[in-house]
Amino acid sequence: MSKYQEIYEALGISSQVLTYGEEILSSLTERFTRIDQVAEYNQLKVLQAMQQAKVSEACLMGTTGYGYNDRGRDTLEQVYANVFHTEDALVRPQITCGTHALALALLSNLRPGDELLSPVGKPYDTLEEVIGIRPSKGSLAEYGITYRQVDLLPDGSFDYEGIRASIQEKTKLITIQRSKGYQTRPTLSVKKIGELIAFMKKIKPDVICMVDNCYGEFVETIEPGDVGADMVVGSLIKNPGGGLAPTGGYIAGRRDCVENAAARLTSPGLAKEVGASLGMMGAFYQGLFLAPTVTAGALKGAIFAASLYEKLGFSVLPQGAEERHDIIQAITFGSPEGVIAFCQGIQAAAPVDSFVTPEPWDMPGYDSQVIMAAGAFVSGSSIELSADGPIKPPYAVYFQGGLTWQHAKFGILKSLQQLIKAGVVALP
């Protein structure tokens, strides 16, 4: 037995599971090479953005109190605008998560009497309370903002005629969720998002088009800002934080939209001028610098998971050979036992809290119990090896992350080992 096999065995991976995984990997060499090429392009793009903004050592220092004249904060926002090719950006530790960033963008750019439209169907679960689909304090509905959605067609394409009919005089903002969320629909490519934006702008040129970019940053060589998005929104504890950002979110886009968001985040009259960076600048800059290669590792893990579980007969989305537009991999097990065993395997592969056994619970913002596996250095970080899923039909799990490809690979093998132990899977 080689040292390679010995270390896997010591970590609980049987020779049968390891061999099965290696067989899957042998067919992915060319695919992984293409991912590395995209990562190289995006690495250079981030480097160029930092050099254009003249990032200096002084930018890595933090501020306290009001945060007036925070050079690092202001320069970082210029870097994000450069990366996403937008007029401005708001990048702050005070934005607590992706849902907060999206809520901030919506609440700051909509007014009573306006209507929000989703042309890609139901939004992610936590946005239902933001919108008021499920009643909640402070929702858009409480402010007299209405909501309308147009579902995707059965083949996952846009219902252009339905969208055309839904854009009305009071339609102020259109939200486009790039990733699938807890749904089994395709993730949207940046090209398709651009086509959708062009269609809607032709109908109503002044409508604001916002893209929820969570999990999609640096997967392709272009971003929604390159194809006409007025706002691009995301979380720093996903792709762009590179696993180093301890908190935070971003809104990049049109200057007036970003200014509205800044005034809502802090205060009218203060806007972007205040907000201490609290010693986080070094992690924010370095995390963004590492983000393209970290995202590439997570993407390889997603493709490995898709290819492995597809061969075992499970429904996966995207399929193993499909082009990728985010780092999330959905695997439908058809039973709660499958979802739970998979997540327990991912947790057991973690560097932090590997001894903890995740269980479904009533998580705030969701309409069913959810199980989450994330033994992460940053709590809740989903660019780190993680998996989650609602305990409801069709009983699908959503896997993402891995700060390195090697860790993502181990996590997938560990999930398979746990599924075998639970009697959900039998290797051929």
- State pLDDT tens for residues 308-365: 999 999 999 999 999 999 999 999 999 999 999 999 999 999 999 999 999 998 877 7
Quick one: pLDDT at residue 169?
A: 97
The helix/strand/coil state of 352 is coil
In the chain, % of residues over pLDDT 90: 94
Return the residue matching tokens 């809290």: 353
Quick one: pLDDT at residue 371?
A: 96
Same fold for the pair 3-42+292-421 and 59-288: no
- The hierarchical CATH code for the domain 3-42+292-421 is 3.90.1150.60
Alpha-carbon distance of 186 to 169, in angstroms, equals 30
The helix/strand/coil state of 202 is helix
Chain-wide mean pLDDT for the chain? 96
Give the CA count within 13 Å in the CB-facing half-sphere of 332.
14
Quick one: pLDDT at residue 401?
A: 96
State the amino acid at position 83 in one-letter form: V
Sequence spans of domains, the chain: 3-42+292-421, 59-288
- The hierarchical CATH code for the domain 59-288 is 3.40.640.10
Quick one: pLDDT at residue 180?
A: 84
First-to-last alpha carbon distance for the chain, in angstroms, is 23
Q: What is the CA radius of gyration of the chain?
A: 21
- List, for residues 184-210, the tens digit of each pLDDT value: 788 999 999 999 999 999 999 999 999
